Structure 1
Amino acid sequence: MNAPSSAMPPNGPESNAVIRQIDWQQTIAVRHRVLWPDRPPEFSHIDNDNAGLHFGAFIGPLLVCVASVFINDESARLRKYATLPEYQGQGIGTTVLKSIFAHLKQQAVDYFWCDARESAIGFYRRFGMRVEGERFYKSGEPYMRMSVKL
């Protein structure tokens, strides 16, 4: 499974990142380490993982960022988006999200949404995403639903 690599700036770690589609099983280690390290790895699974599109950012052979997308007609939901801590703040997650948007537009998807951890709202706003509704909690973590028209 290979998705087209995204265009990346010439300098910085993101310029070395290769974005491609991966199997859902490849996402688990990064999801577990970043999102739910105090839970068993199975907690990082999604019931319908096999039905999603899974994207990974690689620096050399190392998988450093994962994102899973589930398409329903013209709508797509982002789930389990995670970047290894030592690679955060370097533009890699931004490159992954831009690649996902480009892929979805080619698939005629026009609405993108996610349940964003409250701590990540600022990140998603940079992509034009807006908060919808009220704060809610998953496993004790505060979240907000966010969306954007593509």
Structure 2
Amino acid sequence: MIDIQTISAEQTLAIRQQVLWPQHDQAFCRVTEDELGEHYGAYLDGKLIMVASLFVTQTSIRLRKFACLPEHQGKGYGSYMLNYLVEQQKGRPLTTFWFDARCGAIKFYLGLGFLVTSESFDKHGVAYVKMAKNLK
């Protein structure tokens, strides 16, 4: 299986750009709050194949820039990592784990127990919805 480790915000950029916004440069893939986030990488045979960033606010935690290299998608790695990240929040005073999901990925997240909590909206020409799961 994959090995999940904490990584730096800088280490997330290449995969963020390649998977999420290949038409833009890496600078476009930065998040203003990156320096405040918790960043995770999934390694397979020593190679970084997936990244995720978490941002804590009062009682919730937000997932941003969750991306897996295309050749490793559909193999269960994303489910494993997302379940791992949710489990890591136990014991923290947080009630909600949430994110903006691309509409094309809704089925994946529904299968992991997340619910759609908004109407669809546009970000840079891509349709998204908010999704969340209660942690309590």
In the TM superposition, what is the alpha-carbon distance from 1:82 to its structure 2 partner?
A: 0.2
Distance 1:110 1:99 in 2: 17
Counterparts of 1:22 and 1:106 in 2: how far apart (Å)? 22
Q: What residue is the counterpart of 1:143 in the other structure?
A: 128
Select which of 91, 98, 103 maps to 1:106.
Answer: 91
- Secondary structure of 1:104's partner? coil
Distance in 2, matches of 1:56 and 1:135, equals: 28
Gaps of 5+ in 2: none
CA contact (8 A) 1:21 1:54 kept: yes
Corresponding residue for residue 26 of structure 2: 41
Q: What does 1:37-116 correspond to in 2, within 5 Å? A: 37-116=22-101
What displacement does 1:109 show? 2.1
Structure 1: 5+ residue stretches without partners: 1-14
**In structure 1, what is the Cα distance between the partners aligned to 2:64 and 2:77?**
17
Residue 117 (structure 2) pairs with residue 132 (structure 1)? yes
TM-score, length basis structure 2:
0.95
Q: Quote the Cα distance in structure 2 between the aligned partners of 1:54 and 1:96.
A: 12
Higher deviation after alignment, 54-63 or 78-87: 54-63
How many residues matched? Answer: 135
Q: Offset at 1:97?
A: 0.4
* Residue pair 1:56, 1:96 contacting (<8 A) in 2 also: no
Query: What TM-score, normalized to structure 1?
Result: 0.87
Identity %: 40
Q: How far apart in 1 are the matches of 2:93 and 2:6?
A: 18
